[in-house]
Amino acid sequence: MSEPQNLYLYGFQSCPWCARVRSAIADLGLDVEELDIHQVSEHREALVAAMGRKTVPVLRIGSGEGARWLPESADIVDYLYKTHGQGGKPPFFASALPQRIGIGVGLALFVGSFFVADQLSVWFLVAAVGCWVLGRHAVLVGKLFR
């Protein structure tokens, strides 16, 4: 297990994307202080001051002027495994891969829709939107497999 790393997670209890980060933190056995933006207004204000919005989860690495603020649950999970995972990989649905695959396939189908017959292009567009939505919400899809 790694030493405490001066890591802080901005989030709130019922946020599914925060749960994804929490599962990685538990898996890696990290010491991360959680800062609940619904319970403590100072945490919310600090987050908005740093990020310009209150979307969570956001990982703060360090404190004060030199702090780095990292948004996006999949990127946070990747960062935690890169820095503390000792070569291990996050589980598929906790990683950024499903999002990247969903969005990539969605984009490919969208572009493909311009090159196929009219009747087929509608289905390509429907499938493109489906892949994009599934990719964006991979964390919720992943819950079905847990």
Ligand X SMILES: N[C@@H](CCC(=O)N[C@@H](CS)C(=O)NCC(=O)O)C(=O)O
| Residues at the interface with ligand X (CB under 6 A) | 15-17, 53-57, 72-74
- Shortest Cβ 92–ligand X spacing (Å): 15
Closest CB 54 distance from ligand X, rounded Å: 5
Question: Which strands make up the sheet holding 32-36, listed edge to edge?
Answer: 32-36, 7-11, 58-61, 68-71
What lies within 8 Å, CB to CB, of 43 at 6+ separation is: 10, 35, 36, 37
CB of 17 to ligand X, least distance (A): 4
Tell me the closest approach of the beta carbon of residue 21 to ligand X, in angstroms.
8
Q: Smaller CB distance to ligand X: residue 125 or 141?
A: 141
The nearer residue to ligand X, 99 or 113, going by C-beta atoms, is 99
Would you say 53 or 89 has its CB closer to ligand X?
53
What's the CA gap between 85 and 78, in Å, rounded? 9
Computed on alpha carbons and rounded to an integer, the radius of gyration of the chain in Å comes to 18
Nearest to 21 by CA among 80, 85, 100, 99: 80
C-beta of 17 vs 79, nearer to ligand X = 17
